[in-house]
Amino acid sequence: MESPINSTLKVGYPGKENDQFNVDESDVDWLIQTVDQAKARADKNKQDLEDMDRQLFKEQKENQRLRKALEDIVSKRKDYFGESELIIIAEAALEGDAT
């Protein structure tokens, strides 16, 4: 039986059923390296996405904590402070208009 290396490869896609290519060992090595590199990039991208997901979760928790603190300042301290600058800043931050 003939080795697949240094043989002819038939390609089967529409309109190109009879195209043939000569494949040698360097082509196979290149394909293996390319697949390995693609897998390494995919693994790195997966890890990066997992890291970003954890960071996003952490930032969302921090955002919730700070939002709660601002809400407490506005609701619980308004009577004590009146319309002080602190309350105005906190209200603006809650509305997204903080400068």
Please give the Cα distance from 69 to 76 (Å, whole number).
10
Contacts 24+ apart (CB under 8 A), 70-77: 70/94
Higher pLDDT, 37 or 84: 37
Cβ atoms of residues 21 and 11 within 8 Å: yes
Report residue 94's pLDDT band, with 50, 70 and 90 as the boundaries.
confident
Q: What is the mean pLDDT of the chain?
A: 77
Name which of 3-12, 53-62, 70-79 the model is least confident about.
3-12
Q: For the whole prediction, is pTM greater than 0.85?
A: no
Collapsed DSSP state (helix, strand, coil) of residue 35: helix
Query: Averaged over 94-99, what is the pLDDT?
Result: 64
User: Pairing between strand 7-10 and 20-23?
Assistant: antiparallel
Range from 11-20, 61-70, 76-85 that averages highest in pLDDT: 61-70
Q: Indicate the burial class of 23 (C-beta count within 10 angstroms; 0-12, 13-18, 19 or more).
A: middle
Q: Is residue 3 scored above 70 in pLDDT?
A: no
